[in-house]
Structure 1
Amino acid sequence: MAIDPATVDAIDVHVHVEQDGHGCFALDQELLDASAAYFKADQDRTPTITSIAEHYRARRIAAVVFTVDAPAGTGHPALSSEEIADRAAEHPDALIPFGSVDPHAGKAAVARARRLVTGHGVRGFKFHPSLQAFEPNDMRYYPLYEAIAELGVPALFHSGQTGIGAGLPGGRGIKLRYSNPMLLDDVAADHPDLTIVLAHPSVPWQDEAISMATHKANVHIDLSGWSPKYFPPQLVRAANSLLRRKVLFGSDFPVLTPDRWLADFENLDLKPEVRPLILKENAVRLLGLG
């Protein structure tokens, strides 16, 4: 059963599940600590599906939830997207599950993506090129994009700076260049039926992300990972004009709470008619909830 948009005031399209029901974590302790320090996050860093649902239900917000499947890039076992989707199905009034597959798995990733949609009801996919250590425009991954496009669900890609590995020697080997949004321009051009969401203000490549979302009908931007008071001014201008129907509310919970994000969003200089588009209506359309 899909979320009824009439029952929520907003849709947060970027919420991480970092602990499963068995006490396993999405990242190793060093990366969890580095990310928490980067975001100055003092709240619970690893909420479970149930606690996430309770948090968002209390605020009349729906949440898109996911993990990042990155064992090839991190050497750390991934949480199960299947389990996340099945647990999210127990909270259909609050949670919308996305899946994640490791692109390095090749044909197995394609088959798993299909099963996640047809067998577990996921409504999209999350990728983190830097953490998963892959160049998104490498044609080895095109069969995966083709499958996702055929399934009719969006693909959300981390873009720009990441707090994962921040402050560690060599950033723990995590390469930022994989998250340059221009690598996804090739993907968007070559797969016009694939809906792509560029996650976060794509600093230091914000202008590139705005250009892509302006140029290509299938490219969108989520506003997660940054308090709105720190948004680059050109992003605010674009969200208020050309991209008003292409930008989406996302918090990056648990490192940034929806409460903080929404409080700072109130102070942005936006036209009144733009706010409901960003907070809910654009996501309703993109996720096919309307």
Structure 2
Amino acid sequence: MIIDSHTHIYPDAKAARTVQSVRDRSGIQSYSDGTKNGLLDSMNQAGVDISLISNIATRPKQVKSINQWLQAQGSSKIRPLAAWHPDLASSPEMLALLKQSGFIGFKFHPDYQNFFVDDCKMFPLYETIAALGMPVLFHAGVDLGLPEPVHCTPQGLRNVLEAFPKLRIIAAHMGGDQMWPETEKLLFGRDLYMDTSFVLRKMPLPLIERFFKKHPIERFLFGSDTPWGGQKEDVEYILALPFLNTREKEMVLGQNAAQLYGINETTSIKATKPDFT
């Protein structure tokens, strides 16, 4: 089973505009049209069985509508990560409702959401998420379309790990896009997951090998960042890596994510439509 742990889709009426806006701002290419059908077509071409989708709430008032839309997209092939905003008042009961409704984790983008990953104002939220046993995916490192400062650095992630050792963290973009020396120094060997999204085919091959050999192979997840990355291209790239054996490739491509998120091919999003706020 191949699981893409990092993808994005948008409502059909907004997808073209959203994709073009990101392309204009960052200069990156897109590999699909950003719609659900575009993702499903990409999955079929790449042999991907399940994709995890996420969107970012840049304002507190967006959380409810984003989560309702994400939940509606859920199926046996598409599993949603919940959106949340740091400035939205929360309670353990509110976050538990998301888990009960079929969300399998959370996604934060500290740059878009304007918070530093190790800001103490986030700590009550992290504590609740950790208690729920839900993984949390962070955009990590540089975002090509946004100015400095970088809000989620390897040092910041290290600080969160030390404060919340039971929080299951996935650092996107191999631990921190364009911050490889810091990632190696501060995160290698830690109980932290990294996904391959967006950067895999951009990193020098010797650097990729060093990452896979020096950080536990059980802590890597395949992610494409589609529409900003190509699922087919990334799957083929991982399968061709000469320094990973067959078992290790299977772990990266799906087994690690299945274990982390508790995924099997028969589970799916709940049919209920609760009020997420």
TM-score bracket for the superposition, by shorter chain length: 0.7 to 0.9
Tell me how far apart the structure 2 counterparts of residues 111 and 32 of structure 1 sit (CA, whole Å). Answer: 35
**Normalising to structure 2: TM-score of the pair?**
0.82
State the match for 2:140 in structure 1: 159
* 2:250 is equivalent to residue 259 of structure 1: no
**Equivalent residue number for residue 5 of structure 1:** none
Describe the superposition over 1:90-138 as per-residue Cα deviations: whole angstroms up to 9, x where unpaired.
x21x112101101122x237664333212x2100011111111101111
* SS of residue matched to 1:96: strand
Provide the residue aligned with 2:24 in structure 1: 34
Q: Which has the higher contact order (CA 8 A, sep 6+)?
A: 2
Q: Which of 216, 221, 230 matches 2:190? A: 216
Contact (CA 8 Å) 1:102, 1:109: kept in 2 or not?
Answer: no
What is the distance in 1 between the residues matched to 2:207 and 2:152?
Answer: 20
1:227 Cα shift?
Answer: 4.0
149, 152, 166: which one pairs with 1:193? 166
Question: Which one-letter code corresponds to 1:139 in the other structure?
Answer: C
1:200-234 per-residue CA deviation (whole Å, 9 max, x = no partner) reads: 032332233234443422x1100101243534633
Provide closer, same or farther for how the CA distance between residues 211 and 233 of structure 1 changes in structure 2, counting only shifts above 3 A. same
**2:116 corresponds to which letter in structure 1?**
E
Distance in 2 separating the partners of 1:270 and 1:133: 38
The Cα of 1:285 is off from its aligned counterpart by: 1.6
* Runs of 4+ with deviation above 6 angstroms: none
Structure 2 match to 1:81 = 67
Alpha carbons 1:127, 1:156 under 8 Å: kept:
yes
Tell me the residue number matched to 2:112. Answer: 131
* CA-to-aligned-CA distance 1:171-223 (integer Å, 9 cap, x gap): 4xxx3421212111111111111100100032332233234443422x11001
Equivalent residues in 2 for 1:167-186 (5 A)? 171=147, 175-186=148-159
Give the structure 1 partner of residue 8 of structure 2: 16
Q: Percent identity?
A: 22
Q: Which residue type is aligned with residue 87 of structure 1? A: Q
Deviation larger for 55-64 or 182-191: 55-64
Contact kept, 8 Å, 2:32 with 2:226, in 1: the verdict is: no
User: Does 2:60 align with 1:97?
Assistant: no
**Alpha-carbon distance, 1:263 to partner:** 2.5
Partner of 1:4: none
1:216-274 deviation line (CA, Å, top 9, x unaligned): 22x11001012435346334223135421111110000111201112333343322132
Count of residues in correspondence between the two structures: 260
CA distance in 1, matches of 2:128, 2:185: 26
List alignment gaps of at least 5 residues for structure 2.
265-277
Partner SS, residue 134 of structure 1: coil
Query: Matched residues in 2 for 1:148 and 1:190: separation?
Result: 13
Residue 222 (structure 2) pairs with residue 239 (structure 1): no
CA 1:223/1:260 → structure 2, altered by over 3 Å: closer, same or farther? same
CA RMSD in angstroms, aligned pairs only = 2.7
TM-score of the aligned structures, taking structure 1 as reference length: 0.79
Question: In 2, are the aligned partners of 1:101 and 1:109 still within 8 Å (CA)?
Answer: no
User: Can you list the C-alpha shifts for 1:137-191, whole angstroms capped at 9, x where unaligned?
Assistant: 11111111111111111011011121334xxxxx4xxx34212121111111111
Q: Which piece of structure 1 moves more, 26-35 or 246-255?
A: 26-35
Distance 1:26 1:95 in 2: 20
CA distance in 1, matches of 2:213, 2:189: 17
Deviation, 1:283, is 1.0
Q: Which residue of 2 is the match for residue 204 of structure 1?
A: 178
